[in-house]
């Protein structure tokens, strides 16, 4: 029996995906001098998926244990430069979602063979550990991405597998049902036959391209949840035909119509939640108001203790409900009229009207007067710079800090400044309906 | 479909945010200079080319290169900003108004914007769109009331806010400013700078 099990590091949450094929191979003795703890017979019954099997023997594959990476690292001598953000070489953990445009995967696969003796005892007959390091690097302006991978023999190579394991390595975009992508090019041939022997590392970089609905339709998106590599066992003595998939990279491609009739297409790692960074120095009281609101019981969009906000591009009445009964502050308008150019009091709201968390969008309020109220205040000796002169807000009335929203009088250009940054977040990260984002306010 | 409906149908200068700064009769070179850009560095680019340009595609709101595309139409020259709003935020519109009539329209992802008409170095009138309460300010807050009333943005004496497209349409009606979808999609002279806006600009405004 040939089996393999796969080990994922702590940050991984995906389930194992394996493809079953056939079986046949011979029995060999377990090596006595294994450098790392070899699998025991109980491993065969502990979550391994046997991808090849006959009456007595199996070849199984499964993810290794969580601590599998603590063994001797293969640290392949590769020509590829791993994206440092993946943190592949930083210790037992790695980062599967380091940025909006990068997806990473580090998986240890324990491949082993077993046989069942006439007395019913299962004996491990061969063993090899593979470590797959992979990444997909996306671009917000194209449906193509770079997929890099190394497959290294981490340890083992004993018994039935002492002469190596022969396999063809394919991009997951090749022949995997439901992947909706294809290979454009690669540095080594896709499907190349490779012999995995101790100290060997396979490396390849594919250029892959989405061919889901975003490729042909005007406004569409497709979530790739199973990108990576497929290993397909090649015929070799004593090893049955087998294959398994290592498809733990993710990405999402979308298309949208631009104002000039072109189609804008691109891809992101949808599992990464971007952060809108605001600065009181640049956006003054409008940024301050957000920070104040994040101190309320719901901590909207604050990563330390809250939940992300979710972008709602098409909202009808949010601002009308939030701000429709706003009465501008004449004193503030008089003070703002002294600026160059003159500015005005505007209605600022949080959570933003363009989020699902704004209560006007889910029927949580009928008027912005039901929000906690605040107003920007001018410093005693104004400088002429709005963000400097109107740096913070003060409450109007007595907020309970449990209100469903905050509304404040804010100088118009400061309000616009936060709106501009929000727009940049939307565009730069290809936010689509219901995408989450955090907000961080700095000094 | 009206002249301006296209700006809310997809990625336009205002989706999700940006700014149009119109200056009457200004040479395109002077518009670049007003934004502290070297006109000789301008090269024709479409919005799509900007989107995939290795430099310009890195532009943020404040961070990264600051860039504009410039078009001429019906006697007006317009600086087109996407995401960025230097025309409004950095007082460029006001400085342009020292020598000519200026119309500045900004809109942002929070769902509101500002329309400003400037002349003789000052703001004649400025009002909000997507801001359903009184926002008219300036030297003559009632300057556009006839048009605002016709567009349904003023009822009686009450400013009721309004939407972006009717506001743009009344500007076309009153001042003749235009930017068609076709013109916007054309390759237009485009320039950028990496440095922050220098305020005040040496030698600006230009003397005629």
| Dist CA B25 CA B101 (whole Å) | 9
**Bridge-based pairing state of the strands A275-279 and A436-442:** parallel
On chain A, the residues whose CB falls within 8 A of the CB of B89 are 413, 416-417, 420
DSSP A261-309: S-EEEEEE-TT---EEEEEHHHHHHHHHHHHHHHTSTT-TT-TTTS--E
DSSP A186-255: ESS-TTEEEEE-TT-EEEEEEEEEE-SGGGTSSSEEEEEEEEEEEEEEPPBTTB---EEEEEEEEEEEEE
> What's the start-to-end Cα distance of chain A, in Å?
62
Complex ipTM value: 0.89
Helix (H) or strand (E) holding A145: strand A144-159
Q: Rounded to a whole number, what is the distance in Å from the CA of A367 to chain B's nearest CA?
A: 13
Q: Which of B110, B128, B162, B164 to mutate to test the interface with A (most CBs of A within 10 A)?
A: B110
On chain B, the residues whose CB falls within 8 A of the CB of A425 are 109
pLDDT values of chain A reduced to their tens digit, one per residue, 443 residues: 445 555 444 333 222 222 222 222 222 223 333 344 555 656 555 555 566 655 566 666 766 543 344 444 445 556 788 999 999 876 678 999 999 999 999 988 888 777 778 888 888 888 888 889 999 999 988 999 999 999 999 877 788 888 888 899 999 999 888 889 999 999 999 999 999 998 899 999 999 999 988 888 878 889 999 999 999 988 776 666 778 889 999 999 999 866 555 678 899 999 999 999 999 999 999 999 999 999 999 999 999 999 999 999 887 677 889 998 888 899 999 999 888 878 899 999 999 999 999 999 999 999 999 999 999 999 999 998 999 999 999 999 999 999 999 999 999 999 999 999 999 999 899 999 999 999 999 98
Q: Which of A257, A346, A427 to mutate to test the interface with B (most CBs of B within 10 A)?
A: A427
CA distances from A74 to A33, A131, A156, A201, B186 (A): 18, 8, 11, 9, 54
CA-nearest residue of chain B to A426? Answer: B16
């Amino acid at each position: 029996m040939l089996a393999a099990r796969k080990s994922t590091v702590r940050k991984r949450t995906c389930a194992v995906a394996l493809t079953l094929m056939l079986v046949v191979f011979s029995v060999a003795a377990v090596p006595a001098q294994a450098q790392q703890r070899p699998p025991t017979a109980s491993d065969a019954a502990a979550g391994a998926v046997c991808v090849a099997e006959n009456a007595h023997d199996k070849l199984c594959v499964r993810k290794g244990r969580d601590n599998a990476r603590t063994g001797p690292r293969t640290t392949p001598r590769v020509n590829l430069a791993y994206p440092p953000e993946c943190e592949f070489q930083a210790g037992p953990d790695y980062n599967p979602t380091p940025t909006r445009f990068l997806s990473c995967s580090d998986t240890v696969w324990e491949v082993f063979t077993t046989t069942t003796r006439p007395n019913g005892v299962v004996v491990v007959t061969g063993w090899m550990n593979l470590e797959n390091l992979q990444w997909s690097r996306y671009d917000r302006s194209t449906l193509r991405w770079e997929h890099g991978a190394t497959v290294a023999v981490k340890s083992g190579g004993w018994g039935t597998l002492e002469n190596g394991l022969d396999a063809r390595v394919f991009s997951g975009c090749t022949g995997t049902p439901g992947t909706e992508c294809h290979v454009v090019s690669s540095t080594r041939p896709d499907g190349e036959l490779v012999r995995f022997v101790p100290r060997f590392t396979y490396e390849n970089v594919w250029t892959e391209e989405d061919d889901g609905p975003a490729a042909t339709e005007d406004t569409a998106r497709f979530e790739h949840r199973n990108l990576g590599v497929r290993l397909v066992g090649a015929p070799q003595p004593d090893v049955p035909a087998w294959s398994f998939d290592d498809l733990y990279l993710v990405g999402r491609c979308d298309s949208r119509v631009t104002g000039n009739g072109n189609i804008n297409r691109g891809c992101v790692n949808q599992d990464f939640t971007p952060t809108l960074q605001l600065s009181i120095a640049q956006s003054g009281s409008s940024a301050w108001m957000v920070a104040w609101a994040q101190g309320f019981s719901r901590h909207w969009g604050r990563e330390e203790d809250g939940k992300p906000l979710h972008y709602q591009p098409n909202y009808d009445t949010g601002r009308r409900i939030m701000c429709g009964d706003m009465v501008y502050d004449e004193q503030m308008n008089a003070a703002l009229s002294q600026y160059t150019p003159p500015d005005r009091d505007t209605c600022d709201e949080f959570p933003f009207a363009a989020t699902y968390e704004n209560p006007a969008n889910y029927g949580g309020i009928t008027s912005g007067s039901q929000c906690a109220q605040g107003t920007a205040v001018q410093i005693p000796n104004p400088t002429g710079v709005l963000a400097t002169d109107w740096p913070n807000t003060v409450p109007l009335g007595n907020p309970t800090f449990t209100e469903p929203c905050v509304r404040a009088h804010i100088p118009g250009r400061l309000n616009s400044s936060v709106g501009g940054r929000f727009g940049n977040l939307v565009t730069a990260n290809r936010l689509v309906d219901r995408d989450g984002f955090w907000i961080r306010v700095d000094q | 479909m009206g002249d301006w409906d296209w700006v809310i149908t997809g990625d336009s200068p205002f989706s999700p945010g940006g700014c149009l700064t119109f200056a009457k009769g200004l040479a395109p070179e002077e518009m670049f200079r007003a934004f502290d850009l070297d006109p000789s560095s301008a090269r024709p680019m479409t919005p799509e080319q900007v989107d995939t340009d290795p430099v310009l595609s890195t532009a943020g709101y404040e961070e990264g290169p600051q860039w504009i595309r410039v078009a001429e139409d019906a006697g007006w020259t317009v600086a087109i900003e996407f995401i960025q709003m230097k025309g409004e935020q950095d007082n460029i519109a006001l400085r342009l108004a020292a020598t000519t009539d200026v119309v500045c329209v900004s809109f942002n992802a929070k769902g509101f914007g500002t329309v400003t008409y400037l002349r003789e170095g000052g703001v004649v009138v400025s009002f909000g769109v997507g801001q359903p309460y009184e926002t008219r300010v300036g030297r003559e807050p009632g300057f556009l009331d006839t048009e605002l009333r016709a567009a349904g943005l003023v009822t009686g004496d009450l400013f009721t806010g309004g939407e972006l497209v009717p506001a743009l349409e009344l500007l076309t009606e009153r001042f003749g400013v235009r930017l068609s979808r076709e013109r916007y999609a054309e390759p237009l002279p485009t320039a950028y700078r990496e440095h922050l806006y220098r305020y005040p600009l040496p030698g600006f405004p230009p003397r005629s």
